[in-house]
């Protein structure tokens, strides 16, 4: 395994991704709406019209008070801001990397097939493992960088609009660090590995994106459970879930590198 | 001397379809080898096996001394390959593309700098700064050949490198290949016979997955040249040509403007006995009668069958 070869493939793929508007647009627009627009509107509403929190009680009331620190229980608005910032919007930060990585990974092999550039890659001494690792890295790196970028923007919004409502600096919390540093990378890697595998078999980007996109469904379930208060993303739960995903990552990566054979891809070429 | 390519009894089947049938090939080091065959003959399959991208069903394939069945990456590190429809990253410049290809071969920066410059010059793309998307087909194909040479390969394999090019583009690519003679073994598949005649030393003809002939071009033409007879008479060539055309051993009769008749024959002995007698019977002056040299195209058509062209 020569990492320089894998990285050469990854850098080329990343440059290609960000030179294609068809790919960049959904990567930027949807996350901006989800992780910037929603929190901004929500926190602004709480700050400007504190009474608006009453309408959300039915929704936010499902969260147990034990998951909220005493300083955030002082007012209904502070409680609502804390629950939304720390728990409700956390799910979106799992959706963002899944969306980004699905689009980029779907393009990995399938996009090359469409543009007829894959065959040239397969005739080089880049090994099957280097090719897979390069393709996975090309989706993983921008996914993580973009998600962490969104996290930084989100933290700034919370500092600007959420802290005055709650009354003190409270974010990022431990469960968010665990989310960003452990769960997001672990989930992203699993999704990317699955979608890259789908992409290797698919005839084109749209097919790979449609099939690979179905991996978002379990994450939507997780987000829904979190939003409804059925499940609270505590630090322990986040770290434990990340560990399970990490183990699944290792197993899946091992499986992909073992089963990925360029001769099978060649049989899909025209 | 170890041959650059040695194929023995190679068979490849896809389900019930036999793409290659007991193919034997030997390509000498340093030669320019033409791999001829009509579409669907099995040329691309052979190239895919040579590059380790497909597995032989039976037989052995050795490339640069390596058995391709067990040494894919080692083989690919020493060869250059240009597929029949090469794909390019159209957003790159030629230099970026060559540097990317060099990175895949793990070539160090200093060597890559030097080699990129040399290859851009060889391809005539040194001063072109536009992106590949704006290139003509000929420019792309020259870039494809340059990319296939980025690792200074011992063996350069090209699949139909000139098939989509206009005459000038073809000439440029063939000149590039010609310039490699003696330095790199060149193995290229094509169905354009003029290209093979122009630059190849040796040729193999593949038909329905079988090698029907393999020899140096001159030897191949000499071997089949005996099957053609050229007759030149002072007058009455039309009448004589018509009479020869009616004979059972005359497969094809061609006339040119100089009272010369070229006869492709199925039985050279019968023709050499009968033609002088036919000339004498008509009291025609016989200026010349000789075994003519067949062009590669005629050899190809004779071996493969005109109906497939």
Domain ranges of chain B: 5-220, 228-293
On chain B, the residues whose CB falls within 8 A of the CB of A18 are none
CA gyration radius for chain A?
21
User: B69 to chain A: nearest residue by CA?
Assistant: A263
Q: Does the pLDDT at position B294 exceed 70?
A: no
* Rounded mean pLDDT, B48-52: 85
Q: Between residues B149 and B302, which one has the greater pLDDT?
A: B149
Residues of B with CB under 8 A from a CB of A: 48, 51, 53-55, 73-74, 76-77, 81, 83, 85-91, 100-101, 103-106, 147
φ, ψ for residue B36, nearest 5 deg: -100, 150
Backbone angles phi, psi at B264, to 5 degrees: -85, 125
Q: Distance between CA atoms of B309 and B306, rounded to whole angstroms?
A: 6
Cβ-Cβ pairs closer than 8 A, A with B, add up to: 62
Contact check, Cβ <8 Å, B100/A116 = no
Q: Using CA atoms, how far apart are residues B30 and B224, in angstroms rounded to an integer?
A: 26
Choose from A4, A123, A204, A269 for mutation: most chain B CBs within 10 A.
A123
Domain B228-293, CATH class in plain words: alpha beta
pLDDT at B81 over 60: yes
Res B195 pLDDT > 70: yes
**Which chain A positions have a beta carbon within 8 Å of B99's beta carbon?**
none
CB contact under 8 A, A12 and B100: yes
Whole-angstrom Cα distance, residue B228 to residue A148? 78
Tell me: cis bond preceding A134? Omega within 30 of 0 counts. no
The β-bridge partners of B35 are B189, B204
- Which residues of chain A have a Cβ shorter than 8 Å from any chain B Cβ? 2, 4-5, 8-9, 12, 15-16, 19, 112, 115-127, 262-263, 266, 270
Instruction: Write the residue in B86, B88, B106 that is nearest to A2 by C-beta.
Output: B106
Q: State the pLDDT at residue B72.
A: 63
Chain A environment of B55 (Cβ under 8 Å): 263
pLDDT at position B305: 66
Burial of A231 (0-12, 13-18, 19+ CB in 10 A): middle
Asked if residues B292 and B272 have their Cβ atoms less than 8 Å apart, the reply is no
pLDDT at B309: 36
Q: Note whether ipTM > 0.90 here.
A: no
Task: Report the 10 Å Cβ neighbour count for A115.
Answer: 16
Contact B211, B246 (CB under 8 A): no
Is pLDDT of B306 > 60? no
A-chain residues near B83 (CB < 8 A): 119-120, 123
Nearest to A124 among B74, B90, B105 (CB): B105
Residue pointed to by tokens 């001397």? B1
**Is it the case that residue B288 has pLDDT exceeding 60?**
yes
Contacts of A156 by beta carbon, 8 Å cutoff, 6+ apart: none
Residue-level pLDDT at B187: 93
User: Could you tell me which chain A residue has the CA closest to the CA of B55?
Assistant: A263
Q: Which among A8, A263, A270 has the least Cβ separation from residue B55?
A: A263
Report which secondary-structure segment, H or E, holds A178: helix A174-178
Q: Name the average pLDDT for chain A.
A: 84
In the beta sheet, which residues pair with residue B131? B93
Contact assessment for residue B45 and residue A263, using Cβ atoms and an 8 Å cutoff: no
Segment A80-136, tens digit of pLDDT: 889 889 888 888 888 888 888 888 888 788 888 888 888 888 888 888 889 999 999
Residue B117's pLDDT is 92
Runs of H (alpha helix) within B8-84: 43-50, 72-78
The percent of residues in chain B predicted with pLDDT above 90, rounded, is: 25
- HSE-CB for B16 with a 13 A CA cutoff: 0
Residue of B nearest to A3 (CA): B106
Residue A142 has, within 13 A of its CA and on its CB side, a CA count of: 26
The mean predicted confidence, pLDDT, of chain B is: 85
Rounded Cα distance, B50 and B78, in Å: 12
Q: Which of B53, B97, B99 to mutate to test the interface with A (most CBs of A within 10 A)?
A: B53
| Strand segments (E) across chain B | 5-14, 17-27, 32-36, 58-63, 66-67, 79-82, 155-159, 185-190, 202-207, 210-216, 228-233, 250-255, 260-265, 286-291
Residue A179: per-residue pLDDT: 92
| Res. B303: pLDDT tops 80 | no
How close B285 gets to chain A, by Cα (Å)?
60
Mutate which: B76, B77, B104, B155, vs A, most A CBs within 10 A: B104
- Can you give the length of chain A in residues? 270
Find, in chain B, the residue whose alpha carbon is nearest to that of A122: B53
CB B43 within 8 A of CB B35: yes
The rounded distance, in Å, linking the Cα atoms of B184 and B20 is 26
A126–B51: do the CB atoms touch at under 8 Å?
no
Q: Residue B225: pLDDT above 70?
A: no
**Candidates B54, B87, B90; nearest CB to A119:** B87
3-class SS at A89?
Answer: helix
Convert the pLDDT of each residue in B114-159 to its tens digit.
999 999 988 888 888 899 999 988 889 889 989 999 999 989 999 8
Contact list in B for residue A266 (CB cut-off 8 A) is 48, 53-54
DSSP class of B45: H
Q: Which pLDDT score, from 0 to 100, does residue B92 have?
A: 92
Closest CA to B57 of B92, B29, B21, B86: B21
Residue B248 has pLDDT above 70, yes or no: yes
Report, in angstroms and rounded to the nearest whole number, the Rg of chain B calculated over CA atoms: 23
Residues B42-56 have a mean pLDDT of 86
Q: Tokens for A163?
A: 């802290």
**Residue whose token pair is 């208060």:** A229
Q: Pick B5-220's CATH classification: 3.40.50.970, 3.40.50.170, 3.40.50.300, 3.40.50.2300.
A: 3.40.50.300
pLDDT at residue B176 tops 90: no
Residue indicated by tokens 């197993």 = A251
- Using alpha carbons, select from B41, B149, B45 the residue that is nearest to residue A263: B45
B230 and B262 in contact (C-beta within 8 Å)? yes
The shortest CB-CB distance from B91 to any of A2, A19, A127 is to A19
Among B74, B83, B87, the residue with its CB nearest the CB of A115 is B87
Nearest to A162 by CA among A245, A17, A38: A38
**Burial degree of B2 (CB within 10 A; 0-12, 13-18, 19+):** exposed
B106: closest chain A residue by CA: A5
Lowest-confidence segment of A260-269, B12-21, B162-171, B230-239 by average pLDDT:
A260-269
Determine phi and psi for A205, rounding to 5 degrees.
Answer: -60, -45
In angstroms, the CA A50 to CA A209 distance is: 42
Positions of chain A with pLDDT under 70: 53, 55-62, 212, 227-231, 263-270
pLDDT, average across residues B252-260: 80
**Predicted confidence band at B9 (pLDDT cuts at 50, 70, 90)?**
very high
């Amino acid at each position: 395994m020569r990492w320089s070869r894998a990285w050469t493939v990854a850098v080329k793929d990343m440059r290609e991704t960000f030179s294609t508007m068809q790919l960049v647009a959904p990567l930027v627009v949807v996350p901006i709406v989800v992780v910037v627009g929603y929190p901004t509107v929500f926190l602004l509403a709480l700050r400007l019209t504190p009474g608006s929190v009453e309408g959300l009680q039915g929704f936010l009331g499902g969260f147990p008070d034990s998951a909220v620190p005493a300083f955030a229980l002082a007012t209904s608005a502070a409680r609502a801001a804390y629950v939304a910032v720390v728990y409700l919007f956390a799910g979106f930060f799992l959706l963002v990397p899944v969306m980004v990585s699905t689009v980029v990974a779907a393009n990995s092999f399938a996009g090359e097939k469409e543009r007829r550039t894959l065959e040239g890659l397969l005739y080089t001494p880049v090994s099957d493992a280097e090719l897979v690792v390069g393709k996975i890295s090309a989706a993983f790196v921008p996914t993580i960088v973009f998600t962490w970028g969104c996290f930084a923007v989100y933290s700034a919004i919370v500092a600007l609009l959420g802290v005055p409502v709650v009354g003190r600096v409270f974010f990022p919390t431990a469960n968010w660090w665990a989310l960003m540093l452990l769960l997001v990378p672990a989930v992203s890697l699993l999704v990317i590995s699955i979608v890259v595998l789908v992409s290797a078999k698919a005839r084109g980007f749209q097919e790979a994106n449609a099939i690979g996109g179905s991996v978002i469904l379990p994450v939507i379930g997780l987000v829904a459970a979190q939003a409804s208060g059925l499940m609270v993303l505590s630090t322990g739960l986040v770290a434990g879930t990340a560990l399970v995903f990490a183990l699944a990552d290792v197993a899946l990566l091992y499986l992909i590198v073992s089963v990925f054979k360029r001769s099978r891809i060649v049989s899909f070429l025209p | 001397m170890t041959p650059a390519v040695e194929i023995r009894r190679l068979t490849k089947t896809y389900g019930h379809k036999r793409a290659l049938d007991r193919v034997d090939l030997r390509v000498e080091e340093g030669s320019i080898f033409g791999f001829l065959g009509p579409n669907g003959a099995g040329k691309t399959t052979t190239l895919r096996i040579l590059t380790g991208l497909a597995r032989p069903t039976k037989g052995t394939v050795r490339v640069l001394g390596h058995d391709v069945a067990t040494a894919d990456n080692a083989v690919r590190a020493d060869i250059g390959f240009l597929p029949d429809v090469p794909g390019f990253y159209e957003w790159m410049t030629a230099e970026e593309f060559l540097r990317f290809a060099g990175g895949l071969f793990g070539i160090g920066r200093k060597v890559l700098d030097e080699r990129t410059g040399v290859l851009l010059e060889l391809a005539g793309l040194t001063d072109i700064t536009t992106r590949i998307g704006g290139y003509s087909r000929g420019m792309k194909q020259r870039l494809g050949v340059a990319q296939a040479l980025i690792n200074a390969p011992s063996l350069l394999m090209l699949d139909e490198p000139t098939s989509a090019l206009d005459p000038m583009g073809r000439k440029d690519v063939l000149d590039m290949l010609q310039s490699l003679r003696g330095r790199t073994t060149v193995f290229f598949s094509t169905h354009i016979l003029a290209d093979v005649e122009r630059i190849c030393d040796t040729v193999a003809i593949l038909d329905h997955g079988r090698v029907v002939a393999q020899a140096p071009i001159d030897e191949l033409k000499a071997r089949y040249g005996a099957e053609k007879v050229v007759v030149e008479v002072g007058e009455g060539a039309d009448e004589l040509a018509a009479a020869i055309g009616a004979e059972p051993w005359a497969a094809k009769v061609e006339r040119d403007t100089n009272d010369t008749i070229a006869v492709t024959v199925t039985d050279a002995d019968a023709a050499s006995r009968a033609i002088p007698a036919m000339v004498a019977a008509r009291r025609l002056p016989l200026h010349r009668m000789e075994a003519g040299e067949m062009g590669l195209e005629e050899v190809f058509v004779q071996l493969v069958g005109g109906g497939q062209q």
